[in-house]
Copies of this chain bind each other. A is one copy, B any other.
Amino acid sequence: MKTERTTLKRLPKRGTYDRDTLYAILDEALICHVGFVVNGAPVVIPTIHWRHEDTLYFHGSAASRMLRSLREGVEACVTVTLLDGLVLARSAFHHSMNYRSAVVFGTAREVTDREEKLRALDALVEHVVRGRSAEVRGPNESELRQTMLLALPIEEASAKIRTGPPIDDEEDYGVPVWAGVLPARLEFGSAIPDERSAATIPDYVTRYARRAS
C-alpha cells in the first residue's frame, strides 16, 4: 500500500502501512472527510464510510454533488482521524495530540449491481450499530434508486499514530507546570427515544461503544 504519495515525509516513525492497523482505524471511525477536486479547487466533505474487506464504501443521495463528481472517476482522498488525547508539555512548542489517522487515495466506482448494493447498505447499518440491520425495514426499490453507492478500493493508503507522554527538551523538565496526557474519546450518552417509539431500548444501544476497552 506504500507509494510515493503515501510515504510519510514528516515524522516517519509515526507511520504504518499495516492493513490491520489501518482497518481498525477505518472501522472505529463514524465519519470520514472526503477530498476531491472541483474546477481545480479542493472540496472536503464529511460523510459516513464503511469497509467491507478491501473496499471502502460511501453513499448518499443520487443528487449529491460530491457523489456525482466522484462517480465520474475523479480522484479522492479519504481521511479518518480519531483523537485520543491532548499532550501537554512544559514548552508550548512540544504540545501535541495523541491520535490515529488513516488516509486512502483512489478513484471510486459507482455500485449499480442490486445485490452488491443491498449487501453494502446492510453492512453500513451494521458498521454504525451492530445488530440493527435485521430489525429495521430494509431499502425498497425507490430508496435504492435514490441512493448512490460508491466503492473505493483500499490500495494506496497509510496510517499515522501518536501515543504516549509529552517529550520535552531536557532543560525544560524544571519548568514548574503540570505535564502529561489528557485522554479523549467519543462517548455515548443515554439514548433518547423518539416520541412515537414504544419499543424497549435494545442492548446494542445501551451498551454502544466504538472500541473494545
- Chain A interface residues (CB < 8 Å from chain B): 5, 9-10, 30-31, 33-37, 40-46, 48, 61, 63-65, 75-79, 81, 83, 86, 88-93, 95, 97, 99, 101, 103, 105, 121-122, 124-125, 128-129, 132-133, 135-140, 143, 147, 165-166, 172-173, 175-197, 199-202, 205, 208
Contact = CB atoms under 8 A, between A and B. Distances in A.
A95 B180 contact: no
Total copies of this chain within the assembly: 2
Contacts of A45: 79, 103
Contacts of A89: 136
A172 to B, nearest CB: 6
Contact of A46 (B30, B37, B101, B105): B101
Nearest to A101: B46
A46 B147 CA distance: 28
Contacts of A93: 139-140, 143, 147
22 contacts: A5-B41, A9-B65, A33-B35, A35-B35, A45-B79, A90-B136, A90-B137, A91-B139, A91-B143, A92-B139, A176-B199, A178-B193, A178-B197, A178-B199, A178-B205, A180-B197, A180-B201, A182-B191, A182-B205, A184-B187, A184-B188, A185-B189
